[in-house]
Structure 1
Amino acid sequence: MNKKAKEIIIKTKKKIFGTNFGNNSSIFVGNGLDFSEIKEYNIGDDVKKINWKVTAKFQKPYINVFTEEKELNILAIFLVSGNIFFGSIKQKQDLMSEVLALVGYSAIKNSDNFSALFFSQKEEKLFLPTKNMKLLYPIIDYATSLNPLGKEVSFRKLNEFLIRLKQKHIIILIGDFYEDVDLSLVSARHEVYSVIVRDEFEENPRLDSHIFLKDPKTLKEKEFFLDKSVLNEYKRALSQKDKKLYEHFLKNDIAFCKIYTSEDPFFKLSNLFKA
């Protein structure tokens, strides 16, 4: 296992086992309960479970009845693109690996099935479901050592892959989401979360000169003159693209958060999964 993976695993273990980040399945979904039925309220029932719409309709209290989930199937998808080989403070790839580790350790601590998929335009690597924490080591090792240059993500191909899942999953997508995104089919069947990983320099570049930039997907170099007007247009276009992305997430009931390479992912993830 490489040095970077070891550092991430040590840091993650301290956070997971030294706090309440992953102490129950509510971190991933609701209260860890499946909806079962609606019944009339009886004295002693939990008032927090009152279904106010049904209560208003029939003019007497009704509650939602839930059954405890046996276990959750957690699938973390690491989106492999040349874009993640970048960072002004640390690489996005490293931050994504930290997110992956936090999700993995939290899931297994809850005795849930955890699997990891590395995907670009095809399946790069699939780690099968496990409840064994030691099997997270090769997952994080792979995440930190893979070479993403020359690769890009196809959400169409990803949809085709995920359609094959027979059981309902909680799917956690980890990437920078610069591609055209369509998760409508996936979110109709599974509970989906998106963790957007970015570097602040990408959204607010501070350059004013002739520079040569290399496309991390195609590896082609091109000369640019980046004056203030060009940078403002770039920021405007990115803002519009992100607005469209957020609207897509909201329309399809996909919870999401954005984490920058300058930030610690722990608390943002905790808030995301408990929302």
Structure 2
Amino acid sequence: MASAPDRLLRRLEWQVIRRLDGQLQGAYRTVFRGSGIDFADLREYTPEDDVRHIDWNVTARLDEPYVRQYTEDRELTAWLVLDLSASMRFGGAGQAGRGKDGLLTELAVCLARLFTQGGNRIGAVLYDNGLQRVVPPRTGRTHVLRIAHEIDKATRAAAALRGKPGGAATDVDAMLRLAAAQARRRGLIFVISDFLSGDTVNWQDALSRLTHRHEVVAVRVVDPMELDLPDLGLVLVEDAETGEQVLVDTSDPLFQQRLREEVDGREAAVAAAMRRSRVTAHRVTTDQDPLLALVEMVRWSKRRRA
């Protein structure tokens, strides 16, 4: 009998990947292309250029900004940086019946299969505070299946390590630093996470350093109830990572107001950190179709490249 990762890959290949392939076929050089490593030429800077490609020595000599052009590699190396922390297990009660971890798995497997179909290599960094696992970049469907199995195995192992209160919030900064240490060759990195790291946005510098060397796409996974908690009366709320519990009255207007202010503040802080890090950021919700989410990501990237 086929395992859950096998069944997932077959389902996604039938329902999603075949339909997406037309959007991406032959287009990774213009949609998700990474950065080449061979210097080719210099040309004058235009406002659409990435400032990271400015050659400051030539610019100083000629008193006009010039950018370096690189020959793009035919083979793209991509990485999936996957947040498997406790906060990613939130959700699953909505119309789609999918939690944040389920959406992460589907997005990761879809992206891995799409890129390997073009002969590109893809690796994965699986991260939880108490568990880190690295899958070196390879190509082919068998490798995608291995990534799916590793996600399933790591998710189960991370869940088994929890169970007791007093844990720590996700160390997103450490996750990004681990990714930078593994991805030594210039390429494309997908970070799939909720980017929740306690009460602070402590990961901005690590994300900025990652974007200096790689093209980074941040896929932020969110459950709608994290953005707008409905009136459910008295509810015992538990922090999935620290185990802290508190009884709240969701029908209390004052509580709803304070919650809205906290959510707005958190969303603004995360969005600002993404902008300052100069990262391509997308937000995907658990009630969203992964196909539509990926198509929108491709369309956005095509518009950006045009």
TM-score range, shorter chain: 0.7 to 0.9
- Residue 5 of structure 1, CA deviation: 5.0
Q: Give the alignment partner of residue 79 of structure 1, picking from 80, 83, 97.
A: 83
Which TM-score applies when normalising by structure 2?
0.73
Q: Closer, same or farther in 2 for the Cα pair 1:6/1:207, shift >3 Å?
A: farther
| 1:224-243 pair list within 5 angstroms | 224-226=248-250, 227-243=252-268
What stretches of structure 1 of length at least 5 have no aligned partner?
41-47
Match of 2:192 in 1: 174
After superposition, what is the alpha-carbon deviation per residue over 1:74-115, rounded to whole angstroms, capped at 9, x for unaligned?
Answer: 011111121221232321111111211221122112222100
Match of 1:158 in 2: 175
Q: Closer, same or farther in 2 for the Cα pair 1:78/1:162, shift >3 Å?
A: closer
Match of 2:234 in 1: 210
Q: Give the secondary structure class of the aligned counterpart of 1:36.
A: strand
Q: Give the secondary structure class of the aligned counterpart of 1:119.
A: strand
Q: Contact 2:80/2:190 (CA < 8 Å) preserved in 1?
A: yes
Q: Give the secondary structure class of the aligned counterpart of 1:20.
A: helix
Q: Give the alignment partner of residue 134 of structure 1, picking from 142, 161, 174.
A: 142
Q: Give the secondary structure class of the aligned counterpart of 1:128.
A: strand
- Residue 240 of structure 1, CA deviation: 1.5
Q: Contact 1:76/1:116 (CA < 8 Å) preserved in 2?
A: yes
Match of 2:26 in 1: 23
Distance 1:112 1:4 in 2: 21
Distance 2:300 2:130 in 1: 28
Q: Closer, same or farther in 2 for the Cα pair 1:207/1:130, shift >3 Å?
A: same
Q: Give the secondary structure class of the aligned counterpart of 1:129.
A: strand
Q: Give the secondary structure class of the aligned counterpart of 2:288.
A: coil
Match of 2:99 in 1: 91
Distance 2:67 2:234 in 1: 65
Q: Give the secondary structure class of the aligned counterpart of 2:23.
A: coil
Matched residue pairs, number? 262
- Residue 38 of structure 1, CA deviation: 2.4
Match of 1:37 in 2: 41
Letter in 1 for 2:134: L
After superposition, what is the alpha-carbon deviation per residue over 1:131-190, rounded to whole angstroms, capped at 9, x for unaligned?
Answer: 112211132234356235437531232243234242223111001112233212222222
Q: Contact 1:122/1:157 (CA < 8 Å) preserved in 2?
A: no
Q: Contact 1:257/1:268 (CA < 8 Å) preserved in 2?
A: no
| 1:185-224 pair list within 5 angstroms | 185-224=209-248
CA RMSD of aligned residues (A): 3.3
Q: Give the secondary structure class of the aligned counterpart of 2:135.
A: strand
Q: Give the secondary structure class of the aligned counterpart of 1:99.
A: helix
Q: Which moved more, 1:25-34 or 1:73-82?
A: 25-34
Distance 1:7 1:144 in 2: 16
Q: Which moved more, 1:20-29 or 1:167-176?
A: 20-29
Match of 1:101 in 2: 109
- Residue 262 of structure 1, CA deviation: 1.7
Identity within the alignment, %? 16
Match of 1:11 in 2: 15
Distance 1:65 1:189 in 2: 15
Letter in 2 for 1:270: V
